[in-house]
């Protein structure tokens, strides 16, 4: 009789885990930042990290269905508290994803390491651990209902059929893409209109307009206005200074006195 039951021992050993373990399925839907989730690199993975040093981290890669799946989540045997909190991070080379807080509590009413996902919330790096967003899924999203239900990202639930799934919990959430990683800055193309924004180019254009345009304006100005303008230039303060400089250069003042050095006050 015992020999007949030996082939069934592996199946019987997996029954407690099938009845009390929890599963977390993270879907990556198309979005503005990520129109095609299938374009994510194969190295994309998610990690559940606890603040307790004795609790190992749990990591799982991206599947071909653009989902990240954690199966058979159990409460760590080394955990002293009844509830265990994890930080869920999604690492990708091309995009930045939001972080989440996952709380796992004992489930199934047994001490075999069974667990139930109490709740999943979005958390914010650099803020307090208690600072979290709205609940996305888990037992708390069902209003404290029993486990054994399938929970989507909106928090609605539906009971799993069959008594063999009475203790099983599957939680589904949608990952949120925050931004795209840009490792290289795109070089701007050549724009001829951008040269006009250079102040040196603007100053050069104004100087050339004055240099070549002023003689043309003086030649086409009214003769009377031109004579009046020249008379104002002669009577201006710059005109008197110009005359004094010319007299000093010639060494003779307007009164006929030699002002050159060593010549004394001699008249011609």
Across 12-51, b (16+ Cβ under 10 Å) vs e yields eeeeeeebbbbbbbbbbeeeeebeebeebeeebebebebe
DSSP label at residue 8: G
Q: What is the DSSP string of 96-158?
A: EE-EEEEEEEE-TTSSSS-EEEEEEEEE-TTS-TT-EEEEEESTGGGTS--SSEEE-TTS-EE
Question: pTM, whole model, 2 decimals?
Answer: 0.55
Instruction: Tell whether 257 is covered by a domain.
Output: no
What is the count of structural domains for the chain?
2
Give CA torsion, residues 39, 41, 46, 51, to 10 deg: -130
Residues 99 and 211 in one domain: no
Mean pLDDT in residue range 32-60: 87
Domain boundary among 180, 208, 235: 180
Instruction: Tell whether 186 is covered by a domain.
Output: no
Instruction: Tell whether 264 is covered by a domain.
Output: no
Residues 21 and 42 in one domain: yes
Mean pLDDT in residue range 54-76: 85
Residues 164 and 119 in one domain: yes
Band the pLDDT of 182: cuts 50, 70, 90. confident
Residues 82 and 20 in one domain: yes
Give CA torsion, residues 66, 171, 124, 135, to 10 deg: 140
Instruction: Tell whether 10 is covered by a domain.
Output: no
Output 144 or 186, whichever has higher pLDDT: 186
Output 122 or 10, whichever has higher pLDDT: 122
Task: Name which of 32, 67, 48 is nearest 175 in CA terms.
Answer: 67
Residue 223 has pLDDT above 50, yes or no: yes
Which of these ranges, 128-132, 177-181, 224-228, 244-248, has the smallest mean pLDDT?
Answer: 244-248
Output 36 or 113, whichever has higher pLDDT: 36
Instruction: Tell whether 255 is covered by a domain.
Output: no
Residues 129 and 202 in one domain: no
Residues 82 and 210 in one domain: no
What's the rounded Cα separation, in Å, for the pair 35 and 73? 31
pLDDT at 58: 87
Residue corresponding to tokens 């003086």? 218
Domain that holds residue 242: 192-250
Residues 23 and 144 in one domain: yes
What's the rounded Cα separation, in Å, for the pair 15 and 164? 9
Residues 124 and 245 in one domain: no
Residues 86 and 152 in one domain: yes
- Contact present, 135 and 119 (Cβ < 8 Å): yes
Distance in Å from the first CA to the final CA of the chain: 152
Mean pLDDT in residue range 255-261: 49
What's the rounded Cα separation, in Å, for the pair 169 and 23? 6
Output 248 or 132, whichever has higher pLDDT: 132
Instruction: Tell whether 112 is covered by a domain.
Output: yes
Domain boundary among 148, 180, 212: 180
Residues 31 and 95 in one domain: yes
Domain boundary among 158, 180, 202: 180
What's the rounded Cα separation, in Å, for the pair 165 and 107? 13
Across 178-202, b (16+ Cβ under 10 Å) vs e yields eeeeeeeeeeeeeeeeeeeeeeeee
Instruction: Tell whether 11 is covered by a domain.
Output: no
Residue 202 has pLDDT above 80, yes or no: yes
Instruction: Tell whether 185 is covered by a domain.
Output: no
Residues 152 and 232 in one domain: no
Mean pLDDT in residue range 198-209: 88
Q: How many CA atoms lie within 13 A of 230 on its CB side?
A: 9
Collapsing DSSP states into helix, strand and coil, what is residue 6?
Answer: helix
Mean pLDDT in residue range 9-21: 51
Sign of CA dihedral 32, 36, 37, 40: negative
Residue corresponding to tokens 């102040």? 199
Burial of 116 (0-12, 13-18, 19+ CB in 10 A): buried
Residues 176 and 198 in one domain: no
């Amino acid at each position: 009789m015992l020999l007949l039951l030996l082939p069934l021992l592996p199946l019987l050993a997996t029954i407690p885990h099938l009845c009390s373990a929890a599963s977390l399925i993270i879907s990556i839907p198309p979005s503005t930042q990520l129109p095609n989730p299938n374009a994510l690199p194969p190295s994309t993975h998610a990690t559940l990290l606890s603040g307790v040093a004795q609790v190992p981290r749990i990591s799982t890669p991206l599947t071909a269905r653009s989902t990240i799946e954690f199966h058979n989540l159990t409460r760590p045997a080394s955990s002293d508290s009844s509830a265990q909190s994890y930080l869920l991070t999604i690492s990708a080379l091309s995009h930045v994803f939001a972080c989440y807080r996952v709380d796992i509590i004992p489930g199934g009413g047994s001490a075999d390491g069974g667990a139930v996902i109490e709740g999943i919330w979005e958390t914010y790096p650099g803020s307090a651990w208690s600072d979290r967003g709205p609940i996305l899924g888990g037992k708390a999203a069902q209003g404290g209902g029993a486990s054994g239900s399938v929970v989507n990202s909106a928090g609605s639930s539906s009971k799993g059929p069959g008594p063999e799934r009475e203790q099983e919990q599957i939680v589904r959430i949608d990952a949120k893409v925050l931004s795209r990683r840009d490792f290289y800055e795109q070089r701007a193309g050549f724009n001829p209109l951008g040269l006009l924004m250079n102040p040196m180019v603007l100053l050069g254009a104004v100087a050339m307009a004055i240099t070549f345009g002023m003689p043309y304006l003086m030649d086409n100005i009214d003769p009377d206005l031109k004579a009046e303008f020249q008379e104002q230039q002669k009577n201006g303060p710059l005109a008197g200074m110009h005359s004094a400089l010319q007299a000093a250069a010639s060494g003779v003042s307007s009164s006929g006195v030699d002002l050159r050095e060593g010549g004394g006050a001699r008249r011609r």
